[in-house]
Amino acid sequence: MFSSKTNGQSAQVTRMSEAQVKSVPSIISIDLKVQGNLSSNGEIQVDGNVEGDINCKALIVGTKGSVSGEVIAQTVRIHGAIKGQVKAKSVFLASTAQMSGDIEHESLAIEPGAFMEGHCKRTVTEPPKVAKPEPVAVKSALQPNGREAEAMPRAAAS
């Protein structure tokens, strides 16, 4: 009834469940202060205070959260404060956001009421290169004396 199969089937199930389950976000709670860099392959939610750089797939800064440092992520949602440079594919500043620093983005949305001090630079993923047409060589008809032939013959004087 309660048999255990140890022929590798349980290890395979564990690997499948890890790959299939979406990772749980890492949460910096409101009463936590972190001094140092954070790095994650998943999502980080900051409701507390982070003094350091953050590199992750997705970052959410809550209304009471603050980050002092460089942020590199695929998506960034700011409801709280960031002081530093943000590099992300998609950036969203909510009406409660306090952003001080430059933003490099592909997509940027700013709600009315958000505070933004810094430069915004749109980065574009390069579109596929289209082959340029080759220039057409134009040959001119030269007369034996080296001057170009006229396009229209002159009318003979009568």
Whether residue 13 lies inside any domain: the answer is no
Band (pLDDT 50/70/90 cuts) for residue 146 is low
Whether residue 82 lies inside any domain: the answer is yes
Whether residue 83 lies inside any domain: the answer is yes
Band (pLDDT 50/70/90 cuts) for residue 24 is confident
Pull the structure tokens for residue 158: 């009568």
Whether residue 156 lies inside any domain: the answer is no
Confirm if 108 and 91 have CB atoms less than 8 A apart: yes
> Is residue 19 over pLDDT 50?
no
Determine whether 23 is exposed, middle or buried from the number of CB atoms within 10 Å of its CB (0-12, 13-18, 19+).
Answer: exposed
**Residue 39's domain spans which residues?**
23-122
Whether residue 143 lies inside any domain: the answer is no
For the chain, what is the radius of gyration of the CA atoms? 31
Band (pLDDT 50/70/90 cuts) for residue 16 is very low
CA dihedral 111→115→120→124, nearest 10 degrees, is -30
Whether residue 139 lies inside any domain: the answer is no
Band (pLDDT 50/70/90 cuts) for residue 156 is low
Q: What is the count of structural domains for the chain? A: 1
**What's the pLDDT at 154?**
55
